[in-house]
A and B are shown apart, each in its own frame.
Chain A
Amino acid sequence: MIERLARWVDRRVGGSEFAEKKLTKIFPESWTFLFGEVALYCFVILVMTGTFLAVFYESSLVDTTYEGSYAPLRGVEMTAAYHSVIQLSFDVRAGLFFRQMHHWAALVFVAAIVVHLSRVFFTGAFRRPRELNWAIGVTLLLISLIEGFAGYSLLDDLLSGTGLRIAHAVMESIPLIGTWTTSLIFGGPFPGEYIMSRLFTGHVFLLPALLAGLIGVHLALVFRQTHTQFPGPGRTQRNVVGARLWPTYTAMSFGMFALTTAVLAALGGLVQINPVWYYGPYEPFIVSTGAQPDWYMGWLEGALRIFPAWEFTGWGFMLANPFFPAVLLPTLTFVVLYFYPALERTLTRDWGYHHILDRPRDRPIRTAFGAAGLSFYVVLHIAGAQDIIATQLNVSIVSTMYTLRAAALVVPILVALITYRWCRDLAGSSQRPARAGAEAEAAQPAPRPAPAYGHGASPAEEE
């Protein structure tokens, strides 16, 4: 059977030699390499569950009255969009299950990307020759955030409508093009006539197509450039030590897919998420207290809350307040992410190829910088719930906000100092042979006389 298929393909397309090489391709094994795979499989689940949802969803702001099976909303005026979500949740078989699974998959998807990015960062896997794949990965994160927000906004419930109102304000605050761009995207003054159908087009067509394409390139580059590996006996810059793609790695990876699906199915079935029928349909003049976005938007929500009340007017133009926390901050965040490999290369003057990963403790400055950065976003994330913190802890919102403002400035510095110190202590206390081994690996690339491979190339060669 396989033989006949192989002959059929080979006679028409060829490529048996290529396929043979791929079957025996070696992948190093480490549990830390799994997060990217989890993200990939979340994406697969998102496409499958999302296709199911798209069949029932209606991207329209036309007013209708609900007459379905959920009694508390009967007779309530709502948009066709929200109406279709309530119908999907209560009157379509397995509709609520797939909706919840889709939402959970989105939350885990972004989380897996962030953890994967952190792993790549702290182990130095972004270094030459993998800078391009780092940039593609950062782009995937960026698109995922937008994709998640767009999907969340489609439901047109009270929470998502409020989120969209804030997004409108943020978009309007963009210098030069903000006012016009916002009007074009929303199709008129808020809430705009066409925003739902545009979010839908973006969420189910444009952004997933971009994600799928870039994921393809991301994986193709991993294949082409081979995977990095941790230092260890017999592992060098010039080899890959691990298991074969077929059958071992394929079976492992398929197992990961099944397990990811299992977790998402369990979450989607057993753990309620985004019960929009409680929130009610969106009306621009209604708002609830204690409103929270999906987790991956928490840092922006927090930044909007604790950023000082600054706004600048001059020469007939205004830099509105949301610009700083919600336009400038994310822009800087992604600029730093995109350019970090170049920045580190320039500062360390290390132009060599790196296939052997760092242990974070052996790169105390990078590790301290990364930990400080993460802690900054964690503080912002916490600030996104400052009203809930204030009510739960029974402290005033005033002191909560000033504490969080101070924390956003002080915590990253403290975390950096502690991490640096900790790395130094760990590196110093770890066993001599392992440490010596790591140093030997790190020192290896430069002295090797291998001109064809371009080790330790100059910056000029880099271009």
Chain B
Amino acid sequence: MSAESKDGRDQRVATVAATIAFVVGIGGGIAFAIVYSVGAETGWYTQALGGSLAVATAAIGIGSVIWAHKLMPHGPEEEERPFPGGNPDERAKMLATYDDSLEEIGRRRLLGRLLFAAVGVTGLASLFPIRSLGPSPFPERARTAWNRGVRLVTEEGHPVPVDELDVNGILTVFPEGHIHDADAQTVLLRVPSDIFEPLDGREDWSVDGYVAYSKVCTHNGCPVGLYQVETQQLFCPCHQSAFDVLQGAKPTFGPATRPLPQLPLAVDGQGYLIARGDYDVPVGPGFWTWPSAARQETG
């Protein structure tokens, strides 16, 4: 068999293959339209849409590639590169034209400077509306909705009586009137009294084994929602920081650097848990002005 007739046969095979592919493409397109129109009630709607569109476009793609590869001229053809390009003469001419234009306007130097100044001033002034985007981060970033005498409420809004939790129990609480507030979310834990030693200066921050920490992780702000009772650790599922409940929620593992702020607790006249004040430092992740925000709060 000569090379020519082999080529001829290859081309015939390719033509047949591309023909089949394009016919399948037509069929796939029709199938997609039918599936879309009548298939919505079937349990396989999404799959059938994807399947039919995939068949249609795959067939079109395969047919096109066969056509291009086997039946179109491939050369290989050659073309000269215009690059490395750039023509020094044209460049010199362009620069000369630019210099000439400078000379023409050069006599109006004061006008040029004034225009420059006016555009600059107006441009800077037009940056001011950026401030409309949002409020100042302060004092909100430095404090939360917790305050002296504010009741702890559950995510449904119920106040928390002193006998709410069993020992080793955990509950997410909010300041009354601020349910679901992202920054004020707090975990209330009831630690066995025999192993709980309040930190110096925080002797009167817990009641009956109840201790409350900010639920906002000091690393990236995820809710520190996992409580491992055996080791008395709070655990953040986002980046695996762990905090020791018995030591003022000091970080013990992972990327977190600062303890979870502790909420000072008390009991009101009706036997419900209340806060004695706000957190003494900003909750959540660190930020550039954190130290001054922390001072603002204590001061």
Contact = CB atoms under 8 A, between A and B. Distances in A.
Contact of A318 (B73, B141, B288): B288
Given A259-B58, A305-B255, A172 B287 contact: yes
A321 to B, nearest CB: 5
B290 A320 contact: yes
Contacts of A316: 289, 291-292
A447 interface: no
Contacts of A176: 288
Contacts of A290: 237
B153 interface: no
Contacts of A117: none
A334 B55 CA distance: 39
Interface string A255-288: 1111111110111111000000000000111111
Interface residues of B, number: 87
B180 A265 contact: no
Contacts of B136: 180, 183
B64 A309 contact: no
Nearest to B76: A241
Given A238-B81, A244-B77, A353-B83, A285 B223 contact: yes
A175 B96 CA distance: 46
Interface string A180-207: 1011111111111010000000000000
Contacts of B219: 169, 304, 321-322
Nearest to A63: B180
A242 B134 CA distance: 56
Given A169-B221, A269-B49, A241 B84 contact: no
Contact of A190 (B46, B135, B182): B182
B75 A309 contact: no
Contacts of A175: 288
Interface residues of A, number: 110
A267 B254 contact: no
Interface in B60-84: 60-65, 67-69, 72-84
A340 interface: no
Interface in A214-271: 224-226, 234, 237-244, 247-249, 251-252, 254-263, 265-270
Contact of A317 (B40, B172, B288): B288
A192 B137 CA distance: 11
Contact of B288 (A26, A189, A260, A320): A320
Nearest to A227: B81
Contacts of A225: 83
A172 B219 CA distance: 11
Nearest to B181: A284
B223 A286 contact: yes
B220 A304 contact: yes
A255 B222 contact: no
A325 B254 CA distance: 13
Contacts of A178: 287-288
Interface stretch (A50-58, A94-102, A426-434): A94-102
Of A185, A238, A287, A401, the most chain B CB neighbours within 10 A belong to A287
Interface in B35-52: 36, 40, 45-51
Interface of A: 24-26, 29, 93-94, 96-97, 100-101, 128-129, 162, 165-166, 168-170, 172-180, 182-192, 194, 224-226, 234, 237-244, 247-249, 251-252, 254-263, 265-270, 283-291, 301, 304-311, 313, 316-322, 325, 353, 355, 386-387, 397-398, 401, 452-455
18 contacts: A93-B36, A93-B40, A97-B46, A172-B285, A189-B137, A243-B77, A244-B77, A247-B68, A248-B74, A249-B68, A255-B67, A265-B53, A265-B54, A287-B238, A301-B239, A307-B255, A319-B288, A321-B219
Q: In the A-B complex, list the 7 residue pairs whose CB atoms are closest, starting with the nearest.
A: A269-B50, A320-B286, A258-B61, A255-B64, A259-B61, A262-B58, A251-B68
